[in-house]
Chain A
């Protein structure tokens, strides 16, 4: 029996973390392949619907990453996003979703090493949680494709 390989949906800001992932790639930095990236124009674009959709369809974890406060390409998108994250994080944690399944981070496009470390850390934590069996749809094969 092989080790549990989690599926994590990652939402990255185009201007920073997405670039960091790219830089990590060209720098030949090794990181786990367990996450599927959705590229956002800004973390301010992140609607809580997206996170719920990922969990509903069976994602084992969700990782949201954007620009450091003060570095937003659109001046203040991540400041607004941060307030949303505070509510979202508290709400999901309060209703009993394991906080290890949901990660928020700030990674600039130059921080390839931080990206690598964070990617490993996220996957490690989600692995420790095990498969997501309690916070997803009971029947994944309705007509919705499972998170690939």
Chain B
């Protein structure tokens, strides 16, 4: 039995016992998606439902997104990043800790559909995976891809692959990877300001402003998002690139110090924009200035809600 099947079995068993024992009203997990290379979010409310739960390398969406405002007791099937977001939501008073059960899944990385499409441009009808490869089939062909070649970029620098604060882990811990050292960003920041502006403008030139990145993000739970505000209307509704830029900058700032690099935004993006690039600039700053990483403790205060009297800010004259 492959490692993935073992995890699936364990998730189902545990989900059943949580629902039967009344510790959870709903188990939020994944089931096999209706399209290849995608696992769909699934709410299991009865023990029978639990047989649909699966674990795969296509579980790219962040299920912590479903927590804010929910009144039932939730058991959350969570990767390392999702678990950190759930902890963050508890810290931000969006969901009570005593109602939450984090069913942690040690994660060895999720597959990037865009990378797969780059390697296999033909239409894909089915995808099956083993522990280290993915078998794709389409009209008149079948091919194998090595999983490590098509992992998402945030998964390649993940320091918390095993959930840090899970109530229970369904599998053995996976070794951590070296953290994101922002080396590509450092190279970018060494360029001239004109080049950087061009880079960031080009990055978002395809943006449709569908706000899928916002909807997929577990940090975005405001009742009224700034993009929907109308009086005053801070974000213009035009297709002007500056409006798009404003959206990405403000979105980045709202997530600053709270982003766990789960990559749900990039997964949700229909035009494959690396939207996390803005967040990474800020993550780097947050880390350098306040050595803060989100979601590692229940009572952690987000960095913008606290201050130090001697916060260094030499640029303020």
Which residues of A pack against B, CB within 8 Å? 48-49, 52-53, 55-56, 69-70, 76, 79-80, 82-99, 103-106, 118, 134-139, 142, 144
Most B C-beta atoms less than 10 A away, residue of A53, A56, A83, A144: A83
Interface set of B (CB-CB < 8 Å, partner A): 189, 193-200, 226, 234, 236, 238, 240-243, 245-246, 249-250, 252-253, 256-257, 278, 281-282, 285-286, 289-290, 303-305, 307-309, 311, 313, 315-317
Q: Complex formed: what's the CA distance from A80 to B290 in Å?
A: 13
Residues in B whose Cβ lies below 8 Å from that of A85: 313, 315-316
Chain A residue nearest to B279 (CB atoms) is: A91
- Report if A95-B200 is in contact (Cβ < 8 Å); known contacts: A48-B249, A80-B304, A138-B241: yes
Which A residues are CB-close (under 8 A) to B226? 49
The docked-state distance in angstroms from the alpha carbon of A48 to that of B304 is 13
**Residue of B whose beta carbon sits closest to that of A58:** B242
Overall SS of chain A's interface: helix
Beta-carbon contact of A96 and B285 below 8 Å: no
| B307 and A118 contacting across the interface, CB-CB below 8 Å | no
Q: Residue of B at shortest CB range from A84?
A: B304
User: Do A96 and B246 touch (CB < 8 A)?
Assistant: no
Of listed B195, B252, B256, residue having the most chain A CB within 10 A: B256
B193, B242, B303: the one contacting A83 at CB < 8 Å is B303
Closest CB pairs A-B (n = 3) = A96-B197, A96-B196, A79-B307
**Interface pair A94/B309, CB less than 8 Å apart:** no
Q: Main SS of the interface on chain B?
A: helix
Q: Enumerate chain B residues within 8 angstroms of A137, measured Cβ to Cβ.
A: 236, 238, 240, 242-243
Give the residues in chain B near A53, CB-CB below 8 Å: 234
CB distance from A34 to the nearest CB of B (A): 18
B285 adjacent to A95 (CB under 8 Å): no
Q: Which residues from A are CB-within-8-Å of B316?
A: 82, 85, 104-106
Given the known interface contacts A86-B285, A118-B317, the answer about A96 and B309 at a Cβ–Cβ threshold of 8 Å is: no
Partner of B313, one of A82, A118, A144: A82
Instruction: Verify A96–B200 contact, CB threshold 8 A.
Output: yes
A55 to B253, CA, bound (A): 17
- Kindly list chain B residues whose C-beta atoms are within 8 Å of the C-beta of A135: 197, 242, 245
Residues in A whose Cβ lies below 8 Å from that of B200: 95-96
Which single member of A90, A136, A139 contacts B282 (CB below 8 Å)?
A90
Report chain A residues within 8 Å CB of B250: 48-49, 52
A94 to chain B: closest residue by CB: B281
Chain A residue numbers with a CB within 8 Å of B290 are: 83
- CB atoms of B315 and A104 under 8 A apart: yes
Partner of A56, one of B199, B246, B252, B253: B246
A87 touches B242 (CB 8 A): no
* A97 CA to B289 CA, complexed, in Å: 21
Given contacts A91-B249, A91-B281, A91-B282, contact A86 B311 (CB under 8 A): yes
Knowing A52-B249, A87-B282, A106-B316, say if A94 contacts B307 (CB, 8 Å): no
Chain A: CB-nearest residue to B253? A48
Residues of A within 8 A of B249 (CB): 48, 52, 91-92, 95
A102 to B195, CA, bound (A): 19
Q: How far is A106 from B308 in the complex, measured between Cα atoms in Å?
A: 17
